[in-house]
Amino acid sequence: MTAHVGLDDLDSGAAGLAEVLQLPAASRTVPVIERSTKIGATLNTGRYADSRVAAELRDQLDQFVAYPAARELPRLPN
């Protein structure tokens, strides 16, 4: 998705992002949430302000990152 956003190809990016947005909350790890947040921030820049596709993607990403994985990772033995 990041490459598609960089190339202003939001339609293709949206198609690829659809699979990620289907991840269950238990699979929404910190790296997935961080990358999704970064993409959402990029879609919030001025060049996408009037884009309906960008607005829809931002809304979807906001919902996605609102429900991250809520589990403790096991600790490694010392």
Our CA angle for 5, 48, 65, nearest 5°, is 65
Residue in this structure with the two tokens 């994985």, named with its chain if needed: 69
Q: What is the 3-state secondary structure (H, E, C) of the chain?
A: CHHHHHCCCHHHHHHHHHHHHCCCHHHCCHHHHHHHHHHHHHCCCHHHCCCHHHHHHHHHHHHHHCCCCCCCCCCCCC
**pLDDT tens series, the chain, 78 aa:** 666 666 677 877 788 888 889 999 989 999 999 999 998 888 888 888 788 888 999 999 999 999 988 756 667 777
The predicted model scores a pTM of 0.77
